[in-house]
Homo-oligomer: A and B are copies of this chain.
Amino acid sequence: MKKSIWLMLVLVLSLGLSGMVSADDGKVYRWKLAETWGPNFPIFGDATKNMAKMVKEMSNGRFIIRIDSSNKHKSPLGIFDFVKSGQYQMGHSGSYYWKGKNFNTLFFTTVPFGMTAPEQYAWFYHGGGMELMKKVYDQYGILSFPGGNTGNQMGGWFKKEINSVDDLKGLKMRIPGFAGEVLAKLGAKPTNIPPGELYTALERNTIDALEWVGPSLDLRMGFHKIAPYYYTGWHEPGAELQFMVNEKAYNKLPKDLQVILTVAMKTAAYDMYVQSYHESALNLATIVEDYPNVKMRSFPEPVMSAIKATNASLLKEFAAKDPMTAEILKSLTEYQTKARAWTNLSDRAYLETSDKK
């Protein structure tokens, strides 16, 4: 009797298995994602929700990702360590926030005078960008992926017009990252201030200027009420956010869920670029209509040239210090030259057939 029951068991199981093509092991994978952003943060927070929703629906509930915003985990800039340790299987943040840990992480977000979003996506997926990012993150057991592009960021809100390089001297500006270092070389006093304190700092003249993102996210901050000059961008031409995944956790997923996760992250990143474009267009129209006193400006050519030259020499300094930095910068620069020639011949030439307004 025992034998026949076992035979039957084997028969049932193997029939079951042979009829199935699914890797479905009956298990529900539950992950946690920590994001830098607060709860209901627009656009950036939509990217993580969009990703988790796709994963849940495509896996038919076999893979559930819970999102913890900064109010929950209390450590907006702790995402790297959360994912590295495995405390969280996933994170959503910005690669350039980790430049204190490893300077080379900076280059996978954006660089001043770097590539626009489509140019940069082409570099990531066809020009060696993903491979270089893997090389930088491998040592931490972290897989890093594009996490959503803000599009071209605005140069910021200024209380006074910038007419010459001299106007930058002593200028107290909230501008973090590499761009801040560039402006410092030209005599400005860059600082970083938490988002919640930005409006007050600008209002009380603690700072003279600040950059945030662009119309997509600036409008709700109210800066247009206290700083009339809105400058076009140069410092973050296509800032890409970042999904991070703990490598060990990833390796424990069945193959189909690995692909589902990878595709969902990629799609959510592209989607965020498109959503940013939309929100920027909408909010810019609102600014123009409802706040006609806002003056749109670009730095005059001599100012832009000085910033560009300073940026180039700073990058050269860093490349000389570290072979990996040199390798990444070589790849970025060579790719940008080719991609920009195409942008100039295509979109730029085309845009010049239309009025500027």
In A138-195, the 8 Å CB interface with B consists of 151-152, 154
Looking at A73-81, A199-207, A253-261, the stretch in contact with chain B turns out to be A253-261
The proximity string for A residues 257-281 relative to B, scoring 1 for CB distances below 8 Å and 0 otherwise, is 0011001101100110111011011
Nearest-CB distance from A18 to chain B (Å)? 9
Cα distance A233–B347 in the bound complex, in angstroms? 9
Nearest-CB distance from A309 to chain B (Å)? 12
B-side contacts of A24, CB under 8 Å: 20, 22, 24, 60
A-side residues, CB < 8 A to B, are 1, 4-5, 8-9, 12-13, 16, 19-24, 26-28, 54, 57-62, 113, 116-119, 121-122, 125-127, 151-152, 154, 214-215, 232-234, 237, 254-256, 259-260, 263-264, 266-267, 270-271, 273-275, 277-278, 280-282, 284-285, 288, 296, 298, 304, 308, 335, 338-354, 356-357
Could you tell me if B232 and A346 are in contact, using CB atoms closer than 8 angstroms?
yes
B-side contacts of A270, CB under 8 Å: 267, 270
Cα distance A344–B260 in the bound complex, in angstroms? 37
Could you tell me if B113 and A354 are in contact, using CB atoms closer than 8 angstroms?
yes
Could you tell me if B281 and A233 are in contact, using CB atoms closer than 8 angstroms?
no
Could you tell me if B277 and A339 are in contact, using CB atoms closer than 8 angstroms?
yes
Nearest-CB distance from A65 to chain B (Å)? 15
Cα distance A172–B154 in the bound complex, in angstroms? 45
Q: Could you list 24 A-B pairs, sorted by A, with CB under 8 Å?
A: A12-B13, A16-B26, A19-B27, A20-B24, A21-B28, A22-B24, A60-B256, A116-B351, A117-B118, A122-B275, A122-B277, A125-B271, A154-B346, A232-B350, A263-B264, A267-B270, A280-B346, A281-B342, A282-B338, A284-B341, A298-B349, A344-B354, A347-B351, A348-B351
Work out how many copies of this chain go into the complex: 2
Whether A345 touches B22, Cβ cut-off 8 Å, given contacts A126-B274, A350-B237, is: no
B-side contacts of A8, CB under 8 Å: 5, 8-9
Whether A58 touches B237, Cβ cut-off 8 Å, given contacts A345-B296, A346-B152, is: no
Cα distance A296–B349 in the bound complex, in angstroms? 11
Q: Which 8 A-B pairs have the closest CB atoms?
A: A19-B26, A152-B346, A60-B256, A126-B278, A232-B349, A122-B278, A281-B342, A270-B270
Q: Identify which of A125, A233, A341 gathers the most chain B CB atoms within 10 Å of its CB.
A: A341
Chain B residue at smallest Cβ distance from A123: B278
Chain B residue at smallest Cβ distance from A256: B60
